[in-house]
Amino acid sequence: MKCPYCGSNDDQVVDSRNMNEGEIIRRRRKCLSCQKRFTTYERIEEIRLMVIKRDERRELYSRDKIIKGIRIACQKRPISEQQIEELALTVERTLFRLNEREVPTSVIGEEVMRLLHELDQVAYVRFASVYRQFKDINQFLHELRHMMEPVDSERK
């Protein structure tokens, strides 16, 4: 690793620590030429995931877009920023486990809805109304009835 102070390529790793659940390794290094210390971060090279939009356009996967959509659905709900980040990370892990270079937005949207349904049903309905492009109140009612079915069968 090239020293940021003197440019030498001779260094020694002094300390290594896992970060972000083992996805990143933080290394403290000591330059053997100038004796100064510096930090490097290692991560697995990410596979460039493409998202196939409804109109068949393709664009690079953006975790920020998922977080933005979840954040909007969770406004004024008792959901922390950490929960939103964890939900987005879970979606991301699911997508990469598919081992595909291209994923339709429908797969992403359905996974977000599944996780939101477990986390907060109001946020779920908000997200679903935008994702599924509800046109009127009847579509809302249909979705709410669908959500209530498992609850009704548990009461019997």
Closest CA to 51 of 36, 34, 69, 35: 69
97 and 36 fall within a common domain? no
Select the more confidently predicted residue: 47 or 21: 21
The CA–CA distances, whole Å, from 102 to 46, 49, 57, 112, 153 equal: 14, 6, 11, 17, 38
One domain, residues 86 and 118: yes
Residue 79 to residue 13: CA distance in whole angstroms: 40
Question: What does the pLDDT read at residue 103?
Answer: 96
| 18 plus 69 within the same structural domain | no
Average pLDDT of the segment spanning 121-128: 91
Give strand pairing partners of 51.
59, 103
Instruction: Provide the pLDDT for residue 83.
Output: 96
pLDDT digits (tens, 9 = 90+) for 53-81: 999 999 999 999 999 999 999 999 999 99
Q: Which residues of 33-70 are buried (b: 16+ CB within 10 A; e: fewer)?
A: eeeeeeeeeeeeeeeebebbeeeeeeeebeeeebbebb
Q: Which of 42-46, 69-73, 111-115 comes out lowest in average pLDDT? A: 42-46
**Do 57 and 26 share a structural domain?**
no
79 shares a domain with 35: no
| Segments forming the whole domain that contains residue 84 | 50-155
For residues 66 and 16, state if they share a domain.
Answer: no
60 and 120 part of one domain: yes
Average pLDDT over residues 124-147: 83
Average pLDDT along the chain: 89
Dihedral sign, CA of 6, 8, 14, 17? positive
Q: Are residues 33 and 60 in the same domain?
A: no
Report yes or no on 6 lying in a domain: no
Per-residue confidence at 150, pLDDT binned at 50, 70, 90?
low
pLDDT at 27: 96
Are 87 and 134 in the same domain? yes
Same domain (yes/no): 19, 77: no
Whether residues 33 and 90 fall in one domain = no
Q: How many domains does the chain have?
A: 2
